[in-house]
Chain A
Amino acid sequence: GAVVSQHPSRVICKSGTSVKIECRSLDFQATTMFWYRQFPKQSLMLMATSNEGSKATYEQGVEKDKFLINHASLTLSTLTVTSAHPEDSSFYICSAAGHGAVNYEQYFGPGTRLTVT
């Protein structure tokens, strides 16, 4: 099946710094990528949807200036958490869909655990 990777798997950063998370589709062209965050013992909440070459569409309540999403190619999307604070600590998961993948399926990355100290 289609494979999606995320890097890094874990990151610890200091409050006020920025951190970038990469999401890659390894064997298909991801025309659409989704970014989710998940708090402990909770469900996934969609943050934004990005289409290759276009600006991301953010969900209500998600600060687009704080969570910068770039989807510059068909295999890579990045999420940058700017000026991170402890409340941004969470599990961030991306998913991808597109040509070469099964219709209407999203393939999920393994997630990135962000801890802001």
Chain B
Amino acid sequence: AQSVTQLDSQVPVFEEAPVELRCNYSSSVSVYLFWYVQYPNQGLQLLLKYLSGSTLVKGINGFEAEFNKSQTSFHLRKPSVHISDTAEYFCAVSRLGGYNKLIFGAGTRLAVHP
């Protein structure tokens, strides 16, 4: 079975500051890793994913994440945030191969202040 832990439920940050949203996972098998963003009353939008290869993954909206197998982490970073980045962010994993279900973390609320 897989599980995902997002270590911070809320992260307040000032505009143009850097941010890191932390994600750790547990799995007995290899997994794919994803970060999604959810704006109020909307569905989820994929920010980035790690399937294989380079451990540094770049996504949309200036976000990037680094897969660390030894620490079983997949932290999300952005060097300079905007007000519009205020949203809920979810880390998720799925088993390799095919279209497998996603296991989500509890989410991190990113609040960007002017």
Contact = CB atoms under 8 A, between A and B. Distances in A.
Contact of A42 (B46, B51, B106): B106
A103 B99 CA distance: 8
A49 interface: yes
Contacts of A31: 99
A68 interface: no
Contacts of A109: 43
Given A32-B99, A104-B99, A109-B43, A43 B49 contact: no
Contacts of A108: 36, 43-45
A93 B51 contact: no
A106 B99 contact: yes
Size band of the B side of the interface? 20 to 34
Interface string A72-111: 0000000000000000000101010110000111101111
Contacts of B49: 104-105
Nearest to B6: A43
Contacts of B28: none
3 interchain residue pairs of minimum CB distance: A108-B43, A97-B99, A32-B99
